[in-house]
């Protein structure tokens, strides 16, 4: 929901400090906001806006991802309640009653000599302002860090939380919305001067109920590749883990694969603790698409989702049925005796009944093996 959440897209490369507007979509609030900065590898004046080192600030940091990040002052020892803020308009208004997961990464400037614990994100219709250029915007952010010391100058710290939208939220504003006495200020040692300045990168707002999307099952020819999942996206990439046979293979929203054999990929998506799964089977075959489609229709599963029993209707004799969980562990194995009428019902096509009453609710894979071919399908037990 946040355009250019990684500060990668630029109107033009920064050539000095105070140039947050050079990042497409980002700016200060309508009034106030101070003079936030933009940093990028392409900066033509590295002491002020370069990466990784800004000698004017006596600081050093690589981006969390990509080629750029922003920076702002959140508290200053010489002036009470001095603040800077950055703002962006969301791709669209948030939906009433939906829960949204908000995340962003921060890192303390090396030369700050102090740090705070209160840093967050406020959502509204874009009308919040400060009465002075560097003044405090004293509202309660929907998502903010309250206890974790934000004191790491070496690594990036993730701030994450969720809130329920009220439908007027169209802008995100980031910064410190608490007064000096309630910001969790800690001064390091006894410096002659201090301030709390933070780099910020990879800002994201994601609907917590976003479905996991692995893609539709697909046929490819040997040596071909195919894209699975969603396009790469700030925030969502780190929420998505892909598995093959229970082994994690990548952390990204979507990527290109080139399997040598038919492979089922499992996507586990975790957005603010909300876990969802999806799967895609990439079938590798030298046959034509029409032949594959004809063969793929030899199995009909019903009902799906199911609670106690799965029925498998086929146009060929089944020899074995194997059910595994998402990690690849075999949960149920059933050998089918084609002469045993207790296992089969004679309709227009043979039907095999599989008892799943002992399976815990969740996502499973069922492999159906016949005398001529085999097929893996996903089933949901509830």
pLDDT of residue 110: 96
pLDDT of residue 336: 85
CA distances, 81 to each of 189, 197, 208 (Å): 21, 14, 34
Query: How many Å is the Cα radius of gyration of the chain?
Result: 27
The span from the CA of 272 to the CA of 161, in Å, is: 7
Q: Which of 366, 300, 303 is nearest to 332 (CA)?
A: 366
pLDDT of residue 297: 61
- What is the phi/psi pair of residue 59, to 5°? -135, 165
pLDDT of residue 330: 85
Tens digits of per-residue pLDDT, 133-159? 999 999 999 999 999 999 999 999 999
Residue 346: pLDDT over 60: no
- Mean pLDDT, the chain, integer: 90
Pairing of strands 299-302, 247-251: unpaired
Structure tokens at 133: 């250029």
Name 70's bridge partners: 38, 200
Tens digits of per-residue pLDDT, 245-294? 999 999 999 999 999 999 999 999 999 999 999 999 998 876 443 333 44
pLDDT of residue 285: 74
Residue 80: pLDDT over 60: yes
User: What distance lies between CA 194 and its chain's CA centroid?
Assistant: 35
Tens digits of per-residue pLDDT, 29-40? 999 999 999 999
pLDDT of residue 293: 40
Beta strands across the sheet bearing 263-271: 218-220, 274-284, 263-271, 240-244, 247-251
CB 205 within 8 A of CB 102: yes
The region, left, alpha or beta by phi > 0 then psi within -120 to 50, assigned to residue 189 is left
343 or 46: whose pLDDT is higher? 46
Confidence of residue 344 (pLDDT cuts 50, 70, 90): very low
* Least confidently predicted of 120-134, 164-178, 220-234: 220-234
pLDDT of residue 340: 45
Using the structure block, give the residue that is written with the tokens 């033009």.
Answer: 12
Domains of the chain: 20-207 (2.60.120.260), 210-297 (2.60.40.10), 298-382 (2.60.40.1930)
Confidence of residue 382 (pLDDT cuts 50, 70, 90): confident
* Least confidently predicted of 82-86, 211-215, 299-303, 369-373: 369-373
pLDDT of residue 294: 40
Tens digits of per-residue pLDDT, 95-128? 999 999 999 999 999 999 999 999 999 999 999 9
Residue 378: pLDDT over 60: yes
The answer, as to whether pTM is greater than 0.95, is: no
pLDDT of residue 343: 43
pLDDT of residue 138: 92
Question: Per-residue b/e over 334-352, b at no fewer than 16 CB within 10 Å?
Answer: eebeeeeeebbeeeeebbb
pLDDT of residue 292: 38
């Amino acid at each position: 929901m946040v355009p250019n959440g990684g500060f990668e897209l630029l109107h033009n490369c920064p050539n000095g400090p105070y140039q947050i507007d050079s990042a497409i979509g980002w700016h200060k609030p309508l009034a106030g906001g101070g003079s936030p900065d933009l940093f990028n590898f392409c900066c033509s004046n590295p002491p002020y806006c370069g990466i990784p080192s800004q000698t004017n600030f006596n600081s050093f940091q690589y981006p969390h991802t990509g080629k750029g990040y922003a920076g702002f002052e959140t508290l200053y020892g010489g002036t009470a309640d001095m603040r800077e803020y950055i703002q962006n308009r969301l791709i669209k208004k948030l939906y009433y009653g939906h829960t949204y997961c908000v995340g962003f990464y921060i890192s303390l400037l090396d030369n700050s000599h102090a740090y705070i614990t209160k840093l967050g994100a406020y959502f509204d219709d874009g009308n919040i302002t400060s009465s002075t250029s560097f003044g405090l915007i004293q509202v309660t952010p929907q998502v903010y860090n309250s206890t974790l010391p934000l004191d790491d100058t070496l690594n990036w710290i993730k701030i994450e939380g969720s809130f329920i939208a009220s439908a007027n939220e169209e802008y995100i504003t980031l910064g410190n919305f608490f007064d000096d006495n309630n910001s969790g200020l800690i001064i390091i040692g006894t410096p002659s001067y201090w301030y709390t300045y933070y780099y910020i990168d990879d800002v994201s707002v994601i609907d917590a109920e976003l479905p996991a999307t692995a893609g539709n099952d697909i046929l490819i020819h040997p040596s071909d590749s195919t894209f699975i999942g969603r396009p790469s996206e700030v925030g969502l990439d780190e929420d998505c883990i892909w598995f093959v046979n229970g082994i994690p293979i990548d952390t990204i929203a979507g990527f290109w694969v080139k399997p040598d054999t038919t492979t089922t990929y499992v996507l586990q998506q975790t957005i603010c603790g909300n876990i969802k799964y999806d799967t895609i089977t990439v079938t590798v075959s030298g046959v034509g698409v029409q032949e594959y489609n004809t063969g793929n229709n030899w199995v009909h599963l019903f009902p799906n989702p199911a609670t106690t029993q799965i029925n498998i209707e086929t146009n060929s004799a089944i020899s074995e049925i194997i059910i595994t969980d998402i990690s690849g562990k075999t949960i149920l194995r059933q050998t089918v005796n084609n002469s045993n009428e207790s296992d089969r019902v004679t309709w227009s096509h043979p039907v095999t009944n599989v008892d799943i009453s002992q399976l815990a609710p969740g996502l499973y894979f069922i492999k159906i093996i016949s005398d001529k071919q085999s097929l893996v399908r996903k089933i949901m037990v509830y």
